[in-house]
Amino acid sequence: MSERTGQRGYSSRSGFTLIEALIASAIVGLGLVSLLMASKSGTQVNAGAREITHAINIGQEVREWTLKLPFADPETPDNPPGPDGSEDPQTFVDDLDDLASVTYSPPRDGTGQALSDMTGWSQQITLSWRNPDNLSQAVADGASEIIYVEVVVSCGGKSVLTTGWLVTKRE
């Protein structure tokens, strides 16, 4: 028997075949692509969450402002509902109904001051007086002691948040 007889049928290889290297490269490539896609998706979700958080805060600023304002004009209580003056947007606000159908860009804070660092953002405020017996029913301006305040917060012309709340006349 020769020395080679014991090794017949077996190959002594030390390395990978071309097919094994291609399969390993494909698996690693798929893993890297998956990681990049997950990273991109996470970045987009974070950007969206940041935008919604800003919108909620801007909407909350209007809510704080409306809850501090008197329900009717403190100087002339018989003043008809609606803004006092013709500025656009309404800059002099001494009662709640001065905020009827106004858009602020840049948005305003809880004291009515412009948030100058929020360029590209806006608050569109709409008021509607509501029936005390059926709050979903709108009534004529000034015909109720309940006002529904609706705020649409936008960024770059795209609506990000629409919210609303009721404000009642305080004694």
pLDDT in tens, the chain (171 residues): 445 555 555 555 677 788 888 898 999 999 898 888 888 888 877 888 999 999 999 999 999 999 999 888 777 767 767 666 666 667 788 889 889 889 999 999 999 999 999 989 999 999 999 999 999 999 998 889 999 999 999 999 999 999 999 999 886
Longest dimension (CA), the chain: 122
- Residue position matching structure tokens 């001051």: 113
Distance of CA 27 to CAs 20, 34, 40, 134, Å? Answer: 11, 11, 20, 63
Kind and range of the H or E element at 57? helix 18-68
Distance separating alpha carbons of residues 67 and 72, to the nearest angstrom: 12
The pLDDT, as a whole number, for residue 39 is: 82
Local structure of 7: helix, strand or coil: helix
- Cβ atoms of 151 and 59 closer than 8 Å: yes
Domain positions in the chain: 43-168
The pLDDT, as a whole number, for residue 147 is: 95
Q: pTM for the complete prediction?
A: 0.72
62 CB burial (10 A radius; 0-12, 13-18, 19+): buried
Residue partners of 156: CB distance under 8 A and separation at least 6: 120
Provide the CB-side half-sphere exposure for 43 (13 A, CA).
6
Please count the other Cβ atoms lying within 10 Å of the Cβ belonging to residue 132.
12
